[in-house]
Structures are given as C-alpha cells and as structure tokens.
Amino acid sequence: MTETSRRNRQPGLSTRAIHLGYDPATENGALTPPIYMTSTYAFETAEQGSELFRGERKGYIYGRTKNPTQTILEERIASLEGGETAIALGSGMAAISGTMLSLLDAGDEVVIDHTLYGNAYAYFTQALPRWGISVKLADFTRPETLEAALGPKTKLVYFETPANPNLRVIDIAAVAAIAHAHGAEVVVDNTFATPILQRPLEHGADIVLHSATKYIGGHGDVLAGLVVGRAETLQKVRQTGLRWVTGATLSPFNCFLLLRGLKTLELRVERHSSSAMKVARLLEGHAKVASVSYPGLESFAEHEIAKRQMSGFGGLISFELDGGMAEGMALMNRLELVTRAVSLGDAETLIQHPASMTHAIYSAEEREKHGISDGLLRLSVGLENVDDILDDLERALDSL
C-alpha cells in the first residue's frame, strides 16, 4: 500500500472495532466506555421531555429503546458491516423476530432457505404463519429455484451463509439480484462469518443480522442480537419491533461485554479460521470420517463461491463418520478437551449433534430433505492450542 492510499482509506476493521464512536475525554479520560446502568433519563425541563418524545430533539428517554453504552456498540457494528445504522437486542432470536414483526404484515410472504438454525426455522415455519404471514422454502444454493418461489406478496427473503449446521454457502449477490427484481428485500444472518470474513451489504443484502451470542461476544458469557441496515428500515425496527412488540432490549452490561468482544474479533476469527482449516484437513484424511463440510476445503461444494465472497472460512466444520449417528455419539463421548455443548464461536472447542440438539425441531423428513443427516456432527473450533485440539480428535477417532 502506498503512503497516500494508506492515508485516504478509512481505518481498518480492528481499529474501528476498538475506537469508533468514543472519546475518553468526554468521560473523565476513562479508556473503557462506562456502563450506563440507568433505566431512565432526567429531562431538564418538561418542554425538553416533550420535544424528545416528538423526535424534535436528539437524546435519551428510556432504557428500552436506547442507552449510551448501547449506542457505541451499535455504531461499531454498523461500521464493521458497512451499514448506516444498527440495533442491539436481547438475543439473536430477538433480532430475528424484532425485524420480521416490524417489516411484515398479515398477508405478506417471506421466502427462506432450506437450512436455518433450528429455532429460526421454527420461528418462520411455525410462528409467523399463526399471524397470517406465509412462508415459502427454497434451495438458495440454486438461486434459479428462487425465481419460482417469489411472488407478488413476497416482501423479504431470508437466509444464513454459511448456514447452520451444514455450512452451505449461498451466493448473496445472485440471490439479491433475483429478490430485488421481484421487489423483495434481502435479510442475511451473518452469525457464522462475522463482518471480519464477509459483509453481506457489500454484496447487495438490505439487512444483516447476528446472534452476537456467538463470535461477536466470543466468550460464552452473553446472549445478544444485532441488526444492521438502512436508517429508515431500522427506525421501524426500533420503534415497533424493539419498543412495543418484543421489548427485547439488550442490557447495558451485555453491551459492555460485546464492546469487549469486538476489540479482539478480528484476531480471534483469524485464529478460529486457521485452526479450523487444520482440523478440517485432519478429518478429511481420517479413515473413520465419511464426509467433511468446511468452506475452505477444495472438496466443498460451494468452495468457489466461498472464496469469492469471504476473506476466510471461519471456525465451523460439520462432518459425518462412516458409522453414522451411533459412532458420532461415541466419538462425542470419547473427547476430553473438546466440550459437548451447543452454541459456537467461543474460546472453547465445542461439539454437538444437530439432529438431536440444535435442529431437533425439524422433523426427520425435513432434516433429510434439508441436508441435515442424522449422523452429522457440528464442531466449533476454539482458541486452544491447535495441536491439543487435533490430538484430542485424532485420539478419539482412532479409538472407535
């Protein structure tokens, strides 16, 4: 990079994740932004309070819709994703439901991809239809099938890439082009990739959301959700989805934990990715392993799209053993360092069995149709010394 190009660009991802939107001089020099533990805010005068409520004055009114610790977090994630603005909510599911219930009305339709996180799948296929919103499914890895699913009532299309649990990678730009041609907006769950590896708005998505419980928090100690998009759209989500539909605000303390997680996000994601690549290669080469899904492997079905769309391949791997589910359960029980737990993106390497755990909400027929086989195991490669992770897996596999 030349000196001029270095000076003219915006600060890099980590620099923004650490500094953006906060000046210690405004808070007695405190290096770390304070946690504003307050539920409400005093008005200087009655008139000022009324102006705040009418939106004629900028400021804080009440903790359900806004808090200064939360504002810093929202500005940082918006910047990392390249969006105008963001909203923090109490969990990933709150981010999904707050967004959908703000943007969809009875009679509208949403088209979702086959493979979603289990509770998101339940939300779309079981909850939304109860309120008169129809939901159609399509295989987004073949964008041409999307064309048939989109109709005049389709308001939104929704997918994850890479998808939970089988890592399917979807071409965001291809889906966005088809959706936009039909007047539908595109919502992408970017939990697995994080803005470090993939920024869906740059590929044409309209809204990005996260379970910040995962990589953004990064330490297995907080539940949180984030939504990023255009200011006008997100104003609707704040005023209805957050303020009076779900009330699912994120506590100031949890905002602090996410601000802390963001500071090391780039560093952590790089390590998760480099370790996962080594683990994927070990699995691919092991005699007991029938198949491995990792976007970084040349053998992965959507490897070319992943290379184009992502700057790295992340920390999630799914794989299946020759002995199917029974052998998979035996493997899980023989691991000593790798921990049996759902969730992902933590410092600890975690393993779980989607068919009986995170995706048990799908029926057996749905799982079969949607590529979530009974023998599939999902591994979230953590930040431990990679040789220790490899040793544990190899020893357990050899013992089968």
Residues with a catalytic annotation lie at 64, 117, 189, 214
Total interface residues for ligand PLP by CB under 6 A: 14
Tell which one of 17, 77, 88, 93 touches ligand PLP (CB under 6 A): 93
Touching ligand PLP, residues 149-188 (CB under 6 A): 160, 164
Could you tell me the smallest distance in angstroms from the CB atom of residue 249 to ligand PLP?
14
Task: Report the nearest approach of ligand PLP to the CB of residue 345 (Å).
Answer: 8
Judged by CB under 6 A, the chain residues 191 through 210 that form the site for ligand PLP are 191
**Crossing angle (nearest 10°) for helices 265-284 and 252-263:** 70
Using rule CB under 6 A, residue 302 touches ligand PLP = no
CB of residue 163 vs ligand PLP: minimum separation in angstroms?
A: 8
Candidate segments 37-45, 62-70, 87-95, 305-313, binder of ligand PLP by CB under 6 A: 87-95
- Is 223 a binding residue for ligand PLP by CB under 6 A? The answer is yes
Is the CB of 191 or the CB of 251 nearer to ligand PLP? 191
Q: Are 226 and 75 in contact (CB under 8 A)?
A: no
Residue 99 binds ligand PLP (CB under 6 A): no
211 binds ligand PLP (CB under 6 A): yes
- Which is closer to ligand PLP, CB of 226 or CB of 259? 226
| Interatomic CA distance for residues 199 and 260, integer angstroms | 21
Select the span of 89-97, 177-185, 265-273, 300-308 touching ligand PLP (CB under 6 A).
89-97
Contact 200, 171 (CB under 8 A): no
246 counts as binding ligand PLP under rule CB under 6 A: no
To the nearest whole angstrom, how small is the minimum distance from the Cβ of residue 13 to ligand PLP?
21
Q: Applying CB under 6 A, which of residues 79, 99, 161, 213 lies at the interface with ligand PLP?
A: 213
Smallest distance, Å, CB 12 to ligand PLP? 26
Q: What's the min distance (Å) between Cβ of 117 and ligand PLP?
A: 4
Q: Which of residues 189, 206, 327, 346 is near ligand PLP by CB under 6 A? A: 189
Taking CB atoms, the residue at the shortest distance from ligand PLP is 92
- 3-class SS letters over the chain: CCHHHHHHCCCCHHHHHHHCCCCHHHHCCCCCCCCCCCCECCCCCHHHHHHHHHCCCCCCCECCCCCHHHHHHHHHHHHHHCCCEEEEECCHHHHHHHHHHHHCCCCCEEEEECCCCHHHHHHHHHHHHHHCCEEEEECCCCCHHHHHHCCCCEEEEEEECCCCCCCCCCCHHHHHHHHHHCCCEEEEECCCCHHHHCCHHHHCCCEEEEECCCCCCCCCCCCCEEEEECHHHHHHHHHHHHHHHHCCECCHHHHHHHHHHHHCHHHHHHHHHHHHHHHHHHHHCCCCEEEEECCCCCCCCCHHHHHHHCCCCCCEEEEEECCHHHHHHHHHHHCCCCEECCCCCCCCCEEECCCCCCCCCCCHHHHHHCCCCCCCEEEECCCCCHHHHHHHHHHHHHCC
Partnered with residue 186 across adjacent β-strands are: 157
Binding mask of the shown chain, residues 109 to 148, with x at each position contacting ligand PLP by CB under 6 A: --------x--x----------------------------
Q: Which of 225, 229, 296, 312 is the binder for ligand PLP (CB under 6 A)?
A: 225
Judge whether 349 and 336 are in contact, CB under 8 Å. no
Q: Please report how close the Cβ of residue 91 comes to ligand PLP at its closest, in angstroms.
A: 3
Q: Which of 33, 83, 92, 143 binds ligand PLP (CB under 6 A)?
A: 92
β 109-113/289-293 pair status: unpaired
Closer to ligand PLP by Cβ: residue 211 or 246: 211
Would you say 38 or 119 has its CB closer to ligand PLP? 119
Can you give the binding site for ligand PLP, defined by CB under 6 A? 91-93, 117, 120, 160, 164, 189, 191, 211, 213-214, 223, 225
